Amino acid sequence: MIARVRDKLERLRDRLASEELDRTGRALRITELVLDRARLTPVLAVGHSRFYQLTAAPRPFRGLRDLVIRTAERADAVALRALSDTPAALVDERMARGDVTYLAEHAGRVLAHVWFHRGPTPFAEDLPVFPRWVVPDDAFWCYHAYTAPDARASGVFVKLFQTALRDVLTERAASRVLCRVKESNAPSVHLHERLGFERLGVLISLALPGVRVLSWHGGDGATRRWAQRRDRAAVMRFPPA
């Protein structure tokens, strides 16, 4: 029993060390993992994310010429669901509201996808931990990026993401792309910053029964802390007023 506990603690320590978190980030990450392991999420939940925007299209990706990048169609729904184990109803809902999906395909197999939601309709899939995000009518909200495990570290997603961002900011005439990245997801943080995303700020959310406590730390140094009812009516702008 003691050996199993020690082994779990060592794995947790190694996991936290690989996530490049500061003291606050580690404390929040431990809390998140404990709540999840205790099956208290989403009744009790912690969120800790960076928020970014991109206003200029990244350079083209020149490699992986046999990789096909395209927007998904209705016929791709089954492949999208299978790739990231997404519920069928959720994929159908996203397509019905007009969200755009870019996918990377090789030899007929879908290897990665990334979704974009266009304003002015707020983005609500981060409920109940976070509020709905306000998306301006000239912007897209980027979300749910996923790559098949055997295709990671191959450059597949980098090419997919760069190509999708270029299309959204040029062909679809968006003025900017907004997104949320978990603070503990170091590879995603590094990729966004390498592609030129500007950090708007960091948001910590503590979701309790009936209430959500939020703490915003803006990229300009401004901070704000407030509480709101934990319901679908709450929305948040960037930066918060």
- pLDDT tens string 41-92: 999 999 999 999 999 999 999 889 999 999 999 999 999 999 999 999 999 9
- Kindly state the DSSP code that residue 59 receives in the 8-state scheme: P
Q: What is the pLDDT of residues 104-154, one digit of tens each?
A: 999 999 999 999 999 999 999 999 999 999 999 999 999 999 999 999 988
Q: How many CA atoms lie within 13 A of 185 on its CB side?
A: 15
Distance from C-alpha of 89 to C-alpha of 210, rounded to nearest angstrom: 26
Give the pTM: 0.90
- Kindly state the DSSP code that residue 107 receives in the 8-state scheme: T
**Is the pLDDT assigned to residue 15 strictly greater than 70?**
no
3-state secondary structure of 56: coil
Q: What is the pLDDT of residues 191-212, one digit of tens each?
A: 999 999 999 999 999 999 999 9
The values of phi and psi at residue 214, to 5°, are: -120, 145
**Is the pLDDT assigned to residue 9 strictly greater than 50?**
no
| Residue 5, pLDDT score | 38
Which pair of tokens denotes residue 39?
């099956």
Distance from C-alpha of 10 to C-alpha of 20, rounded to nearest angstrom: 16
Q: What is the pLDDT of residues 181-193, one digit of tens each?
A: 999 999 999 999 9
Tell how far CA 143 is from the center of its chain.
Answer: 5
Name the least confident of 12-16, 48-52, 159-163. Answer: 12-16
